[in-house]
Structure formats: C-alpha cells, structure tokens
Chains A and B, each alone.
Chain A
Amino acid sequence: MDKFDFIEMKVPAKAEYVGVVRLSISGIANRMGFTYEDIEDLKVAISEAITNAVDHAYSEEDNGEITVGFGVYENRLEVMVADHGGSFNLNQIKGGIGPYKNSEPVENLREGGFGLFLIDALMDKVEINNNYGVIVLMTKYLNEAEVGLDDDQISTRQ
C-alpha cells in the first residue's frame, strides 16, 4: 500500500458550502503540484459530486452532512465524497449522461444530470459505491502522461 496523507472534512449539505470545498481542493492540489488546468478540473469535479449530494440531501431532509476525504499520494489525489443520506437512484443518474448531439431538439435538452458526465470527463478514474448512501471516489494523477490521453477517461489503472 502506498503511503499517503489523508485529509477529511465534513460540511453541511448546503449549496453555500460547495465553494468552500472547492477552495480546499484548490489548496491541496496546488500544494501537490498539479497544473492550473488540472486544478480547475478538480474544482469542477468535486463541485459536481457535492452538488449531487446536496440535491439529494434536500430531497430527504434539511440537516444532512457531506463527508469529503482527500487521499494525497505521491503520484495522485484521491477524492471521496460521501453523502450519508439514503441512496439515490444511480441508474436514473447514469441514464442519459453524455454529450449533446447537434441534432437533438432543444425541447429535449435536460437541465440537470450533467454532473456525473463532467466528473467522468475531467477525472482519470471514477468509482461510485451505492451501498450505504452514495460515495463517489475519484482519482486524478499528477502526471497526465501516465494514464494516457485516450478518449475513455475512466481509467482502470489500479
């Protein structure tokens, strides 16, 4: 097992804290030496995960908490976002993710549901665990060349 530092924070499941977590990841990623572009990707990815958790918490009860964990490895950052409410319907979230087609009529455009698609696109590896609430685990490597630049952004690298 690689050595790593672990940072954990809990925030109320409220939209106003999305920006706070974004600032935290920006600081951690900067400390690790990620490029400006990668830091921006990480900010969007973590915001999407937290926004999903917040939306879910609102639909259940108003006083939920979100746990965010950062695993700081020598070659990568692992980010865990756990929503400790009940579980939301993963198939519903996963269904219909993907880029728009030019031919799609405007009336059919969906206003939400982009979150997971963007996380997939911006991170190197994404895993979702739906057993107890929803946990999103996403990884970004420090050296992009290591995971290759193929179109499939979900790496199976261990």
Chain B
Amino acid sequence: MNLKVDVAEENEKSIVSLIGEIDAYTAPQLKESLLPLTRIDNQLVEVDLEDVNYMDSTGLGVFISALKSTKENNSHLKLVNLQNRVLRLFKITGLDEIIDITTAIRGGNQNGQI
C-alpha cells in the first residue's frame, strides 16, 4: 500500500518509474516528485506505470495537475506501460483522449497509441 517513485534523468527526458499503489495516501508524494519535472522548459516527462497495480481518482488528479503544468511550461507528459485496470480509469473518464498515453500491445514489440 505504498508507492515508490524513482526518477532517472536523460538529457531532456525524465523517466519516472512508479512501483506500488496510487491512492489518497500516496498521491501527494507522487505530485511532489512529478510537478517539479514538468516545470523544466522543453522537458519530456515519461511516467512508467508498469508496476502500478492500483490507482484511483487521486492519481488521475495528479496527472491532470502535471498536464496543466506542462502546458504552462512548454514541457511534455507521457504515460507508458499502463496495466489494463489503470488504463480503464483513463478511458472511463475520457482522459485517455487528453493525456498522451502509450501502452504496449500484448505479444508485440511495437507500442500502440491508445
């Protein structure tokens, strides 16, 4: 019931790897790590959700904040490797149309744009 946040920097790209659950308890910690990265001009902030096995609306709220921040700071937010359950929440809320989400196609090497 915790969340581990790892950030790796690569030139103009930050890779944020998350392990655990995103809920009301862990979302503030995620927000604190994620938002400063989106404030870097021209930065690509890629969030890897492969090991996030639970997320609720508190997580959606953090990603909406981050998206807003990218628009203000000329950076870009990208979510990758979402588990089906997590992806489903983005689809139910229509956020998959607004946030750049790429998820691996099962059994293939390519990435499919959702």
Contacts and interface: CB of A to CB of B under 8 A. Distances in A.
A114 B27 CA distance: 14
B61 interface: yes
Chain B residues touching A, majority SS: helix
B98 A118 contact: no
B26 to A, nearest CB: 8
A13 B64 CA distance: 25
Given A47-B24, A111-B61, A102 B94 contact: yes
A83 B82 CA distance: 33
Which of A50, A51, A104: most chain B CB closer than 10 A?
Answer: A51
B23 A40 contact: no
B98 A48 contact: no
Nearest to A105: B71
Given A99-B94, A100-B97, A118 B89 contact: yes
A14 B104 CA distance: 36
Interface string B1-24: 100000000000000000001011
A107 interface: yes
A20 B95 CA distance: 28
Interface string A15-29: 110111011000000
Contacts of B58: 51
B68 interface: yes
Contacts of A101: 94
A99 B25 contact: no
A115 B25 contact: no
B57 A48 contact: yes
B45 interface: no
Interface string B72-93: 0000000000000100010011
Most buried by A among B24, B71, B89: B24
Interface in A40-64: 40, 43-44, 47-48, 50-51, 54-55
Given A51-B56, A106-B71, 11 more contacts: A15-B23, A15-B24, A18-B23, A19-B1, A20-B1, A99-B93, A99-B94, A109-B98, A111-B62, A114-B60, A117-B93
Interface of A: 15-16, 18-20, 22-23, 40, 43-44, 47-48, 50-51, 54-55, 99-102, 104, 106-107, 109-112, 114-115, 117-118, 121
